[in-house]
Amino acid sequence: MPTMTYCPRCALSLTTKFDGGRDRIACPDESCGFIHFGDFSIGCAGVVIREDADAKRALLVQRGWNPFAGSWQIPGGYAEHDENISLAVEREVEEEAGIIAKVSDVIAFRHSIGGGTGGPSTNMYVIFRLNLVSGEPAYDGDEIADAGFFSLEEMESMESVQGLSRWAISKALNTPPGSGLVFDPGEVGTIRAGWQVFGLPEDR
């Protein structure tokens, strides 16, 4: 991602300022106060399990666009800056695969530094377990080339199933639903508007 040159608040040429133990890109106008702390994004993905008569199957989508066109993964994407992450993952599952599902718990997260595909340099990727509500796999044939429910055994014969997705599905299948971090709408979660707090369930 290109280096910032001008202040996004007041349009002055940016310089550097020592802040928080390191030099950072900053506006020289103290009354503006802009400091650039880097490029960040928050991603989310959902493991949705369907219990069929012969096996438990997880929802996968096949990427239609690069990078990694043709590969299979759990549905997901970026949370918008003004969107609760639990709603973001439910939206992504519906948009990419036509499935209505509701968040159960957080089963994992991945933190990555370095980007490499033209996106933000640092990404937090939260993987949720969702409860299937309704729908059959549907896809747009463009961004998503295919979608369906597959068992771990069936995935063994599929090409290009993303390793992180397969790992997350195994975690979901081998742990009790609701045993991960769950949304707690209690006092802490209402301290500030827009907060969503997830913590370990107390009855486990």
The tokens for 73 are 């993964």
| Coil, strand or helix at 85 | helix
Write down the H helix ranges in 29-77.
none
pLDDT exceeds cutoff 60 at 13? yes
pLDDT exceeds cutoff 90 at 202? no
Residues 6+ away with beta carbon under 8 Å from 168: 45, 47, 74, 107, 108, 127
> What was the pLDDT predicted at 186?
79
pLDDT exceeds cutoff 80 at 114? no
| Coil, strand or helix at 118 | coil
Lowest mean pLDDT across 73-82, 100-109, 129-138, 194-203: 194-203
> What was the pLDDT predicted at 118?
52
> What was the pLDDT predicted at 62?
98
- How far is Cα of residue 195 from the mean position of the Cα atoms in its chain? 17
Mean pLDDT confidence for 179-183: 95
Lowest mean pLDDT across 38-42, 51-55, 92-96, 200-204: 200-204
pLDDT exceeds cutoff 80 at 191? no
Are 181 and 105 in contact, with CB atoms under 8 Å apart?
Answer: yes
Lowest mean pLDDT across 35-39, 119-123, 171-175: 119-123
DSSP β-ladder status, 198-199 and 76-78 = unpaired
Give the pLDDT band (50/70/90) at residue 123.
very high
Give the pLDDT band (50/70/90) at residue 117.
low
Mean pLDDT confidence for 97-126: 86
What mean pLDDT value characterizes the chain? 92
Q: Provide the sign of the torsion angle of the four alpha carbons 167, 172, 178, 184, taken in this order.
A: positive
> What was the pLDDT predicted at 67?
87
Q: Which domains does the chain have, with CATH numbers?
A: 1-38 (no CATH), 40-176 (3.90.79.10)
Task: Give pLDDT tens digits for 133-166.
Answer: 999 999 999 999 999 999 999 999 998 999 999 9
Which residue is listed with tokens 């369930």?
201
